[in-house]
A and B are shown apart, each in its own frame.
Chain A
Amino acid sequence: MADVTMRIWRGDATGGDFENYTISQNEGEVVLDIIHRIQATEAPDLACRWNCKAGKCGSCSAEINGKPRLMCMTRMDDLPEGTVTVTPMKTFPIIRDLVTDVSFNFEMAKRVPALLPPPMPEGGYRMFQQDVERGQEFRKCIECFMCQDVCHVIRDHEENKVNYAGPRFFIRYAELEMHPLDTNDRRELLKEELGLGYCNITKCCTEVCPEHIHITDNAIIPLKERVVDADYDPVAWLGRKIRRRTKKTAAEASVQPAP
């Protein structure tokens, strides 16, 4: 096969530039194979993060020809002919070359209020299969953080990072909020501190998700509806004026104690 020219961003927090590498390729290879070949032959100090090479660990996120992709799941023969450009994720601070500091996400993870189930009755609870499946879609997340990378709310507005959980965590919130046994109420938090309203449903996150999670449709929009229901429904507003708002208890929700 013909050699390919790779245009790769090299540098660190102080700055950097593109470097071109012309390198051999074989049938069926992915971008990560080519990066490894550049490391092995021309640039042993080219930094990139990777682990499983099977699209399951979420480590090798980068921007390939400007689009967030997993390097291990992007086949060279799927890319248009010509030079392939690889840059680090733009939303996160650079450590070196293709490696970024994604700790913003870990800080956001710490702020997620945990599942709060009611006391367990004898014999536990039995969960309906449809409730299991609803949460399982969000559990497919491999934390590649490409949805966070592509989201313009933080990609183009650094100042929003203190007040925006981002798509990855909106699916986590959705999973918890939709869990039939959960009694925590995160709606106020989502509205006031985690910027749910900043999302204007451009679906970029859904488009880049390597696990094909319907982030916008199945998580963000239902969350927005819940927040809106709580806040702008006149009956609920009146009810809140009269008594403190409480979420449905598990006993009232769809889950029934196991026989």
Chain B
Amino acid sequence: MFNYVPEMFRAETAETEEEGDKWYDDHTAGRRPPELLPRDEVARAINTEVKAGRGSPHGGVFLDIASRRTPEYIRRRLPSMYHQFMELAGVDITRESMEIGPTCHYIMGGVQVIADSAATAVPGLFAAGEAAGGLHGANRLGGNSLSDLVVFGRRAGMGAAEYIEAGDVATSFNMEEAEAAVKGALDPLNREEGENPYTIQHDLQEMMQALVGIIRTGPELEEAKDKLDEFTERVKNISVKGARAYNPGWNLATDLPSMLTVSRSTALAASLRKESRGGHTREDYPNPDPEFAKFNFALSSDGGNWDSPISAAQSPLLPLPDELKALLEEAH
């Protein structure tokens, strides 16, 4: 069960080489402290504790390193954490425990790309990193985001260069579409009366956290989908004041349609995935279903606009390339 835990963490807590080997070879005999379980398991465990009324004063749990490591070690190995807790909360983590809670950290889903070139379905558009989906499966491992950026950022750059060299680049575009996009972006500035974008963003965050959060259920996801339709109407009625130069309110107004696209996609895919896997936990389907392991949900916009209906199709997972399969077999 623990063979996917990165080497550095294994070295951090195993006190003897035998203990490390034991974890590695016999996954049922592991003596792993809960904070080193995968992120989704830790988040669920915290959620369960808090719901059961055993949470800390601010609705989280306590994490302690002071009892396990010396102050010098903590300051040397966790300098940012030491500094931030000290300055922002007045908590000395070399002496006392930290109050922690799960938060939205990373989106495993994203734009579907061709792995070799990072090309998307839109000609000339390339995506890498957290914007792209599929690389990390259902649960990203610590540290892999950086390697993702380095490897696939390079591929995206090379993919874009090849695309240009191949000469397939569009040399014209639809002026009407461009004008409509400009008008859409400027609408919030021109609208005399309307809603504050910050209010909508805040409400959207609260709703998504409550209904599409760590633990999901079918009825709540359906409720979220209905609410997202209401948000779509609200976003069409944003009004911001000020000019175009460095105007955060206006920037948020132009970001909100994309936030809704992502929220609607997340809610739809989560409602279709009737299983629990990695970062996605369904209370009504608590176990992984092997059938669902065979495909991703690929969502597309029917119409291409941010408020167009979204449809879902099953996109089969590609078979593991032989060289990777060989590497994995070698490791076992």
Q: Do A and B bind each other?
A: yes
List the interface of chain A (C-beta within 8 A of B).
12, 28, 30, 39-41, 44-48, 54-56, 73, 75, 95-97, 99
- Determine which of B84, B196, B241, B245 lies in contact with A54 in the assembled complex, contact meaning CB atoms within 8 Å: B84
Q: Find chain B residues with CB under 8 A from A56 CB.
A: 80
The reply to whether B198 and A40 form a contact with Cβ atoms under 8 Å apart is yes
A19 shortest CB reach to chain B, Å: 13
Q: Given A39-B198, A56-B80, A46–B248 Cβ distance below 8 Å?
A: yes
Q: Answer yes or no: B242 CB below 8 A from chain A CBs.
A: yes
Q: Find chain B residues with CB under 8 A from A46 CB.
A: 248
The reply to whether B248 and A41 form a contact with Cβ atoms under 8 Å apart is no
- Determine which of B88, B202, B248 lies in contact with A45 in the assembled complex, contact meaning CB atoms within 8 Å: B248
Q: Given A12-B245, A56-B80, A95-B246, A45–B240 Cβ distance below 8 Å?
A: yes
Q: Find chain A residues with CB under 8 A from B198 CB.
A: 39-41, 44
Inter-chain CA distance A46–B248, complex, in Å, is 7
Q: Find chain A residues with CB under 8 A from B87 CB.
A: 55, 73, 75
The reply to whether A48 and B248 form a contact with Cβ atoms under 8 Å apart is yes
Q: Find chain B residues with CB under 8 A from A28 CB.
A: 88-89
The reply to whether B248 and A44 form a contact with Cβ atoms under 8 Å apart is yes
- Determine which of B89, B196, B246 lies in contact with A96 in the assembled complex, contact meaning CB atoms within 8 Å: B246
Q: Beyond the given A96-B245, A99-B246, could you list 15 further A-B residue pairs with CB under 8 A, ordered by the A residue number?
A: A12-B245, A28-B88, A30-B88, A39-B248, A40-B196, A44-B196, A44-B197, A44-B240, A44-B242, A44-B247, A44-B249, A45-B240, A45-B249, A54-B80, A73-B88
Q: Given A39-B248, A39-B249, A45–B242 Cβ distance below 8 Å?
A: yes
List the interface of chain B (C-beta within 8 A of A).
80, 83-84, 87-89, 196-199, 202, 240-243, 245-250, 252
Inter-chain CA distance A39–B249, complex, in Å, is 7
The reply to whether B241 and A97 form a contact with Cβ atoms under 8 Å apart is no
Q: Find chain A residues with CB under 8 A from B250 CB.
A: 44-45
- Return the chain A residue nearest B89 by Cβ: A28
- Return the chain A residue nearest B250 by Cβ: A45
Inter-chain CA distance A97–B245, complex, in Å, is 11
Task: Report, nearest first, the 6 A-B pairs whose CB atoms are least far apart.
Answer: A44-B249, A45-B242, A40-B198, A47-B246, A96-B246, A45-B247
Inter-chain CA distance A63–B80, complex, in Å, is 23
> Which of B88, B198, B242, B245 has the most A CB atoms < 10 Å from its CB?
B88
- Return the chain A residue nearest B81 by Cβ: A54
Inter-chain CA distance A39–B241, complex, in Å, is 11
The reply to whether A47 and B84 form a contact with Cβ atoms under 8 Å apart is no
Q: List 7 A-B contacts (CB under 8 A).
A: A39-B198, A44-B249, A46-B248, A55-B83, A73-B88, A75-B87, A95-B245
